[in-house]
Amino acid sequence: MRTDVQRRRLHQNRGLRQDLRGASLQDLLIYGLKGLSLVAVEARKHKLDLTEINRFTLQATFSTLTNVDFDPARFVELIGRCAALREDLKKR
């Protein structure tokens, strides 16, 4: 049987793991946005319409600054969308 102190430590460790997971997903999203930005800079030279990419970049960046309502699934979705936009832009 666990003591109150052991239960509190266990709860704190779970929270720390969630925080680390969240930070890793946010870091991965920022890394993906950097790659998208590199492709977008080249696309801008060719006068391509980047409205969707600009909006996504703002939304995704803002999501890493305001993680009060942190949802790992949302960050996974944003990371996937970022990669898809980058690949689509490369084809244009």
**40 vs 15 pLDDT, higher one:** 40
Structure-model confidence comparison of residues 48 and 71, the more confident one: 48
Task: Please check whether residue 15 lies inside any domain of the structure.
Answer: no
Question: Which domain range does residue 85 map to?
Answer: 23-91
Tell me whether residue 3 is in a domain: no
Mapping DSSP to helix (H, G, I), strand (E, B) and coil, where does residue 2 land? Answer: coil
Residue pLDDT, tens place only, 7-32 = 565 555 555 556 677 788 999 999 99
| Domain containing residue 68: CATH number | 1.20.1270
Looking at residue 6, its pLDDT comes to 53
87 within domain boundaries: yes
Give the residue ranges of DSSP H helices in 1-92: 4-45, 51-65, 72-91
Q: Evaluate if residue 41 carries a pLDDT over 80.
A: yes
Is 8 part of any domain? no
CA 7/CA 76 separation, integer angstroms: 30
pLDDT on residue 70: 74
Per-residue model confidence as pLDDT tens digits over 66-87? 655 678 889 999 999 999 999 9
In a domain, 5, yes or no: no
Phi-psi region of 3 (alpha: psi -120 to 50; beta: other; left: phi over 0): beta
Number of domains, the chain: 1
